[in-house]
Amino acid sequence: MEQASVLEEEEEKESVKMAVWNVGSVGSVVLNLIDDIPTSISGLLPVLVEQEIAYAESYTGQTIGTTAIAAQYQPAITSLTASAVLKALEIQGADVSNISLGEFSIGKGKGSPAESMSEAYRLDGEKKLNELGRSINFYKALG
């Protein structure tokens, strides 16, 4: 009896991992990754997510959409959006002398913590997009 409940819990966890996301889902994950996002930026979060989806679509040559984001694109779009949010924090001059991302935090030192974390997330997102590959079309000119 106890073993059956453990298996049900594992199946439920697996279904959560493979859930189909939308713009709001990505936004929620980013809000959980980055502490203390001001309302001036969190209000722009859906726009930032849509911009990163457009970038991912352009990069991969695939249609991703905003209402049913497949599991394979979710990590890359989340990282790219986190990068965009941190860049927006830097641009708007938010107090970013100390930044906490989950359990990882950085503070004062050379450069801005938001800038360095933004770059780290951008590189991570681009690496994940590279792993997905690109669609390439070749055409032969007739002549």
139 inside domain: no
Inside any domain, residue 92: yes
Following DSSP, what letter does each residue of 66-130 receive, concatenated? SSSB-TTTHHHHHHHHHHHHHHHHHHTT---SEEEETTEEEESSSS-HHHHHHHHHHHHHHHHHH
Does residue 132 lie within any of the structural domains? no
* pLDDT (0 to 100) of residue 10: 47
User: Would 80 be classed as within a structural domain?
Assistant: yes
Asked, for residue 10, whether it belongs to a domain, the answer is: no
Residue 113 domain flag: yes
If one counts the domains in the chain, the total is: 1
The one-letter amino acid code at 21 reads W
Q: What is the pLDDT along the chain (143 residues), one digit of tens a residue?
A: 455 554 455 444 444 455 789 999 999 999 888 878 888 888 889 999 999 999 999 998 889 999 999 999 999 999 999 999 988 888 776 655 555 555 655 554 445 667 778 888 888 888 888 888 777 666 777 76
CA atoms within 13 A on the CB side of 57: 12
Distances (CA, A) of 117 to 28, 41, 73, 112: 19, 17, 21, 9
**Containing structural domain, residue 61:** 16-127
Per-residue pLDDT tens over the stretch 47-64? 999 999 999 999 988 899
Q: Is residue 54 part of a domain?
A: yes
Does 45 reside within a domain? yes
